[in-house]
């Protein structure tokens, strides 16, 4: 499982870099699409630890699609659409969610250590 997670991270990272660097490659489209679906999905799934695995996957993929659509709609509404901006916005939102999950876990761990 860690090997699969590492491969998915590498594919997503390559997709983001190919898109941001405007590299003309046949892999740019599929890898970028994978990144745009995987980054928010992982962030949302990390926040939903209490759900059953199937429900967690379903909600995280639906949430990723929603995040992508909201970013695109927001950028179009303010007339600032760009491919680079969209990828950066999805990356930023996913990173913020992952950071909040990590902070929440650290606080819980610290509270448990203080209680014992």
> Per residue in 68-103, pLDDT tens?
999 999 999 999 999 999 999 999 999 999 999 999
pLDDT tens digits, one per residue of 16-55: 999 999 899 899 999 999 999 999 999 999 999 889 999 9
- pLDDT at position 38 is 94
Instruction: Kindly list the distances between the CA atom of residue 1 and the CA atoms of 13, 31, 43, 59, 98, in Å, as whole numbers in the listed order.
Output: 18, 20, 18, 21, 20
Instruction: Kindly list the distances between the CA atom of residue 34 and the CA atoms of 13, 79, 83, 115, in Å, as whole numbers in the listed order.
Output: 10, 26, 15, 42
- pLDDT at position 39 is 94
User: 9 versus 86: which is more confidently predicted?
Assistant: 86
pTM for this structure?
0.88
- pLDDT at position 50 is 86
- CA distance linking residue 105 with residue 109, whole number of Å: 6
């Amino acid at each position: 499982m860690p090997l699969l997670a590492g491969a998915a991270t590498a594919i997503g990272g390559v997709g983001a870099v190919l898109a941001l660097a405007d590299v003309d490659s046949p892999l740019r489209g599929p890898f970028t699409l994978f990144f745009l679906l995987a980054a928010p999905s992982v962030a949302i799934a990390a926040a939903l630890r209490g759900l059953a695995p199937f429900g967690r996957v379903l909600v995280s993929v639906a949430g990723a699609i929603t995040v992508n659509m909201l970013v695109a709609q927001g950028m179009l509404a303010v007339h600032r659409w760009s491919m680079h901006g969209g990828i950066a916005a999805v990356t930023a939102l996913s990173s913020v969610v992952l950071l909040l999950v990590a902070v929440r876990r650290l606080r819980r761990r610290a509270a448990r250590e203080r209680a014992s």
